[in-house]
Amino acid sequence: MGIGVTSEVNAQRIRKYLAEGKRFDGRKPEQFRELIIEKDVSKKAEGSVRVRLGKTEVIVGVKLDVGEPYPDSQDKGNLMVTAEILPMSSERVELGPPKFDAIELGRVIDRGIRESKIIDLQKLCIEEGEKVWTVYIDIYTINDDGNLFDAAGIGALAALKVAKVPKYDEETVKANYEERTGEIPLNKVNPIPITIHKIGDNFIVDPTREEEDISETRLTIGISDGVISSMQKGNSRPLKVDEIMKAVDVANSAWKDIFKNLEKLLK
């Protein structure tokens, strides 16, 4: 058994509890852990939050800078999402270049934000074909006790909502970070990734690390009030159509609870 991998004894206990509709920590299968959001944790970011889901913790920062538009979107701003799973967040993380887990985390959050079109990228165009704002979303894991996808996605949405756009200096053609002009232009959608895990015949949300270890398959659904913007499947076991539909129903219900809590925490 590898470092930190859940023992077979604990795995059997988790399966037994789930068969009875219960979980180790007393939650129901479709219930998230306590969500805590701390705003403005970085003085250098345009918007930043610390998100805690139970013992899982991430920091997400949003930075803006002036750059050139992409060749295929001359009248739109740019979006870049990166994730770094820090060694201090888990004994399973090794030092060195980003591994697949970090790359996948960044891509899943990027896809959920991008495909939902929450950011009005056209309003981030300064001069068509010449200058646009680039939005950078940086994700750093502090502690991994399961469900980094959802914690990071909640953090990305929250950081975007609290971020302020720097003033564009026409003389220097650069951002003036000493002054702010307003909020990032956001559309009226609120994409949050809800990751569903299947263990035996049971579907659960917001797994602990031990529950993730014995998960047979997972499906991360980027959703906003019933509208799906992205899906990402993990693990090798397939899902049937009826199982996917069930996962979507679970995700939509969970989104309502998480978004309600997020709104309260950002006030």
- Report if pTM > 0.85: yes
Please, where are the H alpha helices in the chain?
8-19, 100-116, 148-162, 209-213, 241-266
pLDDT at 233 over 60: yes
pLDDT at 2 over 70: no
Write down the residue that tokens 């646009």 correspond to: 132
The 10s digit of each residue's pLDDT in 13-33 is 899 989 999 998 999 999 999
Pairing type for strands 125-127 and 35-39 reads: unpaired
Q: Transcribe 88-154 into DSSP letters.
A: GG-TTPPSSS--HHHHHHHHHHHHHHHHHT-B-GGGGEEETTTEEEEEEEEEEEEE-SS-HHHHHHH
Pairing type for strands 125-127 and 131-143 reads: antiparallel
Average of pLDDT values for 198-205? 94
Write down the residue that tokens 């307003």 correspond to: 182
**8-266 fold:** Ribosomal Protein S5; domain 2 (3.30.230)
Rg (CA), the chain: 19
The 10s digit of each residue's pLDDT in 133-170 is 999 999 999 999 999 999 999 999 999 999 999 999 99
Map out the domains of the chain as residue ranges.
8-266
| Per-residue pLDDT at 9 | 85
Q: What percent of the chain has pLDDT over 70?
A: 99
